[in-house]
Chain A
Amino acid sequence: MSLLEVKDLVVEFPSRRGVLRALDGISFTIEKGEILGVVGESGAGKSLTGAAIIGLLDPPGRIASGQIRLNGERIDQLPEAALRSIRGRRIGAVFQDPLASLDPLYSVGAQLIETIRTHLPLDPNAARLRAIALLEETGIPAASQRIDHFPHQFSGGMRQRVVIALALAAEPQLIIADEPTTALDVSIQAQVIGLLKRICRDRGAAVMLITHDMGVIAETCDRVAVMYAGRIVEVGPVQDVIHSPAHPYTAGLMACIPDLETDRERLAQIEGAMPRLDAIPNGCAFHPRCPRALPRCAVDRPELLAGGATQAACWLLAS
Chain B
Amino acid sequence: MNEDALVRVEGLSKTFDLSPSWLSRLLRGGAKQRLHAVDEVSFEIPRGTTLALVGESGCGKSTLARLLVGLHEPSRGRALFDGQDVHQTLGGADAGPLRQRVQMIFQDPFASLDPRWTVGQIITEPLIEQKILAPGASLEQRLQELLAVVGLSASDAKRFPHQFSGGQRQRISIARALASEPDFLVCDEPTSALDVSVQAQVLNLMRDLQRQRGLTYLFISHNLAVVRYVSDAVGVMYLGRLVEWAPRARLFSDPQHPYTRMLLDAIPKLRNTGQARTPVQGEVPDPLNPPSGCAFNPRCPHANDRCRTERPLLQGTPAGRVACHAVAEGRIGVS
B-binding residues in A (CB < 8 A): 41-42, 155-158, 185-191, 193-194, 212-216, 218-220, 238-239, 242, 252-254, 256-261, 263-264, 266-271, 273-274
Contacts and interface: CB of A to CB of B under 8 A. Distances in A.
B268 A219 contact: yes
B26 interface: no
A190 B279 contact: yes
Contact of A269 (B56, B201, B225, B264): B201
Interface residues of B, number: 42
Given A190-B279, A263-B228, A273-B198, 13 more contacts: A41-B198, A155-B283, A186-B56, A187-B262, A187-B263, A190-B268, A191-B280, A219-B273, A239-B273, A258-B203, A264-B229, A269-B201, A273-B167
Given A257-B225, A273-B167, A267 B203 contact: yes
Contacts of A193: 268
5 contacts: A156-B57, A158-B283, A187-B263, A189-B266, A219-B273
B274 interface: yes
Q: Which 6 A-B pairs have the closest CB atoms?
A: A215-B268, A256-B200, A41-B195, A185-B56, A267-B200, A258-B229
Interface of B: 56-57, 165-168, 195-201, 203-204, 207, 222-226, 228-229, 252, 262-264, 266-271, 273-277, 279-280, 283-284
A269 B197 contact: yes
Contacts, number: 125
Contact of A188 (B195, B276, B283): B283
A218 B270 contact: yes
B269 A261 contact: yes
Chain A CB within 10 Å, residue with most, of B197, B225, B266: B197
A214 B195 CA distance: 12
A103 to B, nearest CB: 23
B285 to A, nearest CB: 10
A259 B283 contact: no
A208 to B, nearest CB: 18
B224 A41 contact: no
A45 B263 CA distance: 31
A186 B167 contact: no
B197 A270 contact: yes
Nearest to B274: A219
Contacts of A189: 266, 268
A171 B152 CA distance: 52
B266 A267 contact: no
Contacts of B195: 41-42, 212, 274
A215 B267 contact: yes
Contacts of B228: 258-260, 263
Contacts of A239: 273-274
A4 B252 CA distance: 42
A157 B267 CA distance: 16
B269 A215 contact: yes
Contacts of A253: 196-197
B12 to A, nearest CB: 23
A15 to B, nearest CB: 17
A270 B204 CA distance: 12
A268 B200 contact: yes
Contact of B204 (A158, A185, A266): A266
Given A273-B165, A273-B167, A267 B225 contact: no
